[in-house]
Amino acid sequence: MANNVVLLGAQWGDEGKGKIVDLLTERADAVARFQGGHNAGHTLVIGGQKTVLHLIPSGAMRPGVDCLIGNGVVVNIEQLLKEIDNLKSMDIEIENRLMLSMACPIILPHHIALDLAREKAKGKKAIGTTGRGIGPCYEDKVARRGLRLGDLFNAKLFAEKLREVMDYHNHALVQYFKQQAVDYQQTLDSIMPLVERLRPMIGDVSERIYNLRQNNKSVMFEGAQGMLLDVDHGTYPYVTSSNTVAAAAAIGTGIGPLELDHVLGVVKAYTTRVGSGPFPTELFDEVGQWLGEKGHEFGATTGRPRRCGWLDAVALKRTRQVSGLNALCVTKLDVMDGLEVVKICTSYQYKGESITLPPYGADALGECTPVYETMPGWKEVTAGVRDYESLPTNAKKYLGRISELIGLPIDIVSTGAERDDTMVLKHPFINQG
C-alpha cells in the first residue's frame, strides 16, 4: 500500500503536473510542495474553469485536502495572499487547511531586483529565469543570512536582520549593477501588516506529515519545474535554483527518505523547454510550430512561448536513474493527433560515440546530436478519450515504445486539459479509498 507518493516533472517542466496532482488527490489526505517558489505555474481546468496556482499546492481544488508548503519552498508573501484571495473569490476556502513551514525562506524585494539586474547584465548569456527572486533567495538561505517565515514573529529581531541583509545587497545593486537601491523602510512597512494574517497558517510541516503517516493517511508530494532543471543533475547552469529530484521531497518537507513509497514521473508525449539552455530534440520547422500552437505552449507563469521538440528518451532515462521513478504518466497525447510520423530520440551522437545517457552540464549536452526512431503517426482524434483500448493503434504503439525505451510502465495517460480527460491504468495510491 502506497501512502506517500512523489509526483515530479520528468523533463524541463511544464509537463502538466498540476492537473495530475489534482486528479490523484481524490485519494490523498494532503498535498505538499517541497521546492521552488512562485516560478512554478500549475494549470488546472475543472468544468471548463481554468485556475493557475503558483505557490499553493494543486490539492487546493479538492475540499478537505490539506495543503502543505514545506521548508524547501521559497515564499513571496504577497503572491501567497493573492492566490488565497483568488481562491476565495471562487468560493474555495483554503486558509483553514493551509500550513507553511516556519523554515520557509522569504522572497523580498531586493531578491527580485537582484534577479533582474543579473539577467540584464548577462545579456545574451542570460539563464532565462522568471525574474521573481527565486535564485537570490536560495542564495541567502545557503549563505545563512536569509529571513524565514518564523522570523516574522519577533518584530524587532526581524527588522534588524532585514536591515543587515538589505545593506549587503543594496551595495551590490548600486555599486556593481548600477541599479537603484531597494528602500528598507518601505520593505519593512509592506511586510509587517501581513504577519497576523499569516500567523494561523504557519506551523511544523514536518510534524504534520509525520502524524499523517502514523495515522495511515496519504500524502502527495508535488514537484515544481522538472528534473532536467535540477540544480545538481540538470543542464547546469541553465537550471532552476533548487533540487527537483524525488529525494528533495524528503529534505524539502522534513521527513525520512524511506517514508516515500512511490515516485511517478510526468512526461509530455513530446518535449518542451522554456528559457535558455541546450535542447537536443528542439524543432525549428513546421512540426515544432504545430506542437507549440496545438499544445498552447506558453508558460503559465511568464507567458513565454515554449520551445518544442520530439520526445527525448535519453534525457528521460537520466530522470529515471536520478529520481528512482516507479512509473510514468504521459500527458498531451492529443497534441500529436494528425502527424504523419512521430519520432523518439533513442540515443545521442557525442564526440564520435553513441551514448544513451545525457552527459552532465550544458556545454557537453550542447554538443550532442539526437538519433531518432521514426514511427507512423495517427489521424484519429485522441482528445478526450478516456478508455485506453479506444486509443488509435498507432498511438498505443507509440506509448508502448516509450515504456519499452524508458523501462517503466505507463500508469496514466492524459488526453486533454480537463480533470477527467485521463486514463488511470494503475493508481499510485494503491488500495486507497
* Beta-carbon count within 10 A of 195 CB: 15
Q: Output the pLDDT for position 433.
A: 40
% of the chain with per-residue pLDDT over 70: 97
With cut-offs at 50, 70 and 90, classify the pLDDT of residue 302. Answer: low
Which residue has better confidence, 133 or 275?
133
Residue 432 has pLDDT above 60, yes or no: no
Is 226 a residue whose pLDDT tops 50? yes
Q: Is residue 232 over pLDDT 60?
A: yes
Look at residues 18, 10, 9, 7 and name the one whose alpha carbon lies nearest to residue 57: 18
Q: What is the mean pLDDT of residues 157-164?
A: 97
Burial of 433 (0-12, 13-18, 19+ CB in 10 A): exposed
Pairing mode, strands 49-53 and 42-46: antiparallel
Query: Can 42 be counted among the known catalytic residues?
Result: yes
Instruction: Give 155's pLDDT tier (boundaries 50, 70, 90).
Output: very high
Predicted confidence (pLDDT) per residue in 386-420, tens digit? 999 999 999 999 999 999 999 999 999 999 988 88
Radius of gyration of the chain (CA): 22
Q: Does residue 237 have a cis peptide bond before it, meaning omega lies within 30 degrees of 0?
A: yes
User: Could you give the CA distance from residue 98 to residue 109 in angstroms, rounded to a whole number?
Assistant: 24
Output the pLDDT for position 431: 52
pLDDT computed for residue 239 by the predictor = 93
Catalytic residue among 29, 38, 42, 111: 42
Q: Which residues of 368-395 are buried (b: 16+ CB within 10 A; e: fewer)?
A: bebbbeeeebbeeebeebeeeeebbebb
Known catalytic residue at 14? yes
- pLDDT at residue 346 greater than cutoff 70: yes
Tens of pLDDT, residue by residue over 101-150, are 999 999 999 999 999 999 888 877 777 777 899 999 999 999 999 999 99
Q: What is the pLDDT of residue 300?
A: 60
Given this model, what pLDDT does residue 127 score?
A: 75
User: Using 50, 70 and 90 to split pLDDT, how confident is the model at 46?
Assistant: low
> Is pLDDT larger for residue 275 or for residue 367?
367
Residue 51 has pLDDT above 80, yes or no: no
Q: What is the pTM of this model?
A: 0.93
Predicted confidence at residue 258, as pLDDT, reads 94
Q: Looking at the predicted structure, is the pLDDT value of residue 2 above 70?
A: no
